[in-house]
Amino acid sequence: MLDWNDPIAEFQAEETTRNETAQTKKAKASLQKSTIEKSNGEDLNKPSGQMAAEPVRVEDKRIINGEGDINQLAPFKYPWAWNFFLNANKNHWTPLDINMTKDVQDYHQRLTTEEKHVYENVLAYLTTSDILAMRNVGLAVMEKMTAPELQIYQARQVYEEALHTWTYQHCIESIGIDQSEIYNRYRVVPQIHQKIELANQKLNSVLRPDIDLKNPDELDNFIHAYLFFAGVFEGCWFYNGFSPIFALQRRGLMTGTAEQLQYIMRDEVLHCAFGIRVVREIVKEENLTLDTQRLRDMWDQCEAAEIGYANYILRDPILGYSAEDHIEQFRFIANRRAKQLNIEEPFPGAQNQLSWLDEQANMRKEKNFFETRVTEYQTGAALSWD
């Protein structure tokens, strides 16, 4: 079952497809080569005017630093990556599928000043974050993958990050919030800027197209940057970023926006799970050792940024939700991500402060959203929760 506690469990069974013996693989490759030679009526080992390329061997594929043909999708070495792509396409939607009429009324007639402050600043942070995520996947990560089944899912992920950005913009536009003002908050509000700036510091060094991942220092920097992106930026900050809106939804407020975020959360479950899986695979394939002090510093920096952010957006607590709740939930989720990454928990003893979250995110739905299998998703406005 794909959930936030163990989001990659569904795909573990597929590991068995990769356990063929080297001898069997070589036999298959030899048979394939022989078949090609016979069909062409010539020996590929003999010189000719236009020498055909050698067949792609599955065992030669690598997540990074592979030297095979990046244009040949199958046979798969990483079938789990292809399944991520297939499952992602079952959650196809647009923000226009959700009615925002009630949110317009709630914002202008029902929300308190403190609740408006929370709502606006959550959107201000998310709008910039998803653009940053889109650029990171498309420019820093995807191009460095050397197995096409991974690139294809990441192409879908780039689209989804753009879709999420459209969703936040649609909410802002529907309600009538000043777009110029709210989109600039990440630049002028120090507590929002701190999170964005920290992400830029972690990720900008891998946005360069000239990175040589066969260089040990470059590879070490890349894996730590990608771990931050998958484990913290998407795995903690996005997850925790939606919680204040779900707290409003819990009281019957801004339910259209909350439903938009439910669709986004479905995408983010896969984004986080995929990134964590890739990090673990690269560590194994490249025989890497993660820097424990560097990880500790990362968690401390990210916690400090989240504390500042929480104390700003919740400087005045709203009914049922406070800065202390938000901060403790960050620590709890950080421990989950660390466990999934096979690294030490950064905040031992952190408590699940928002025990209502899973249920509330599924108000009026019969399934626990965070425990629902991705394979049960359907497409578009006809998405069924039954």
Q: Where are the domains of the chain?
A: 20-60, 77-369
Q: Is the pLDDT of residue 56 over 80?
A: no
Say if residue 307 is exposed, middle or buried (CB neighbours under 10 Å; 0-12, 13-18, 19+): middle
Residues 6+ apart with CB under 8 A from 312: 121, 189, 191, 192
Residue 271 known to bind ligand: yes
Residue 234 known to bind ligand: yes
177 φ, ψ (degrees, to nearest 5): -80, 145
Residues 6+ apart with CB under 8 A from 99: 256
Cis peptide before 148 (omega within 30 of 0): no
Do 177 and 188 meet the contact criterion of CB atoms below 8 Å apart? no
pLDDT, average across residues 264-275: 92
Q: Which CATH superfamily is domain 77-369 in?
A: Ribonucleotide Reductase, subunit A (1.10.620.20)
User: How does residue 29 score in pLDDT terms, banded at 50, 70 and 90?
Assistant: low
Please confirm, yes or no, whether 377 is among the known catalytic residues: no
Q: Spell out a b/e string for 122-156, using b for 16 or more CB atoms within 10 Å of the CB, else e.
A: bbbbbbbbbbbbbebbbbbbbebbbbbbbbbbbeb
Q: Is the pLDDT of residue 386 over 80?
A: no
Axis crossing angle, helix 216-227 with helix 292-313, rounded to the nearest 10? 30
The two most distant CA atoms of the chain are separated, in Å, by 80
Residue 386 known to bind ligand: no
Residue 117 known to bind ligand: no
Residue 376 known to bind ligand: no
Q: Is the pLDDT of residue 13 over 50?
A: no
Say if residue 266 is exposed, middle or buried (CB neighbours under 10 Å; 0-12, 13-18, 19+): buried
pLDDT, average across residues 309-330: 95
CA nearest 156: which of 239, 235, 271, 265? 271
Task: Give the per-residue pLDDT at 269.
Answer: 87
201 φ, ψ (degrees, to nearest 5): -60, -40
Residue 161 known to bind ligand: yes
- Which residues are paired to 318 by β-bridges? 321
User: How does residue 3 score in pLDDT terms, banded at 50, 70 and 90?
Assistant: low
From residue 213, give the alpha-carbon distance in Å to each of 64, 103, 146, 228, 356. 8, 48, 11, 18, 43
Among 65-74, 159-168, 360-369, name the one with the lowest average pLDDT: 360-369
Active-site residue, from 119, 125, 153, 168: 168
Q: Is the pLDDT of residue 24 over 70?
A: no
Axis crossing angle, helix 255-285 with helix 216-227, rounded to the nearest 10? 150
User: How does residue 45 score in pLDDT terms, banded at 50, 70 and 90?
Assistant: low
Task: Give the per-residue pLDDT at 372.
Answer: 38
337 φ, ψ (degrees, to nearest 5): -65, -40
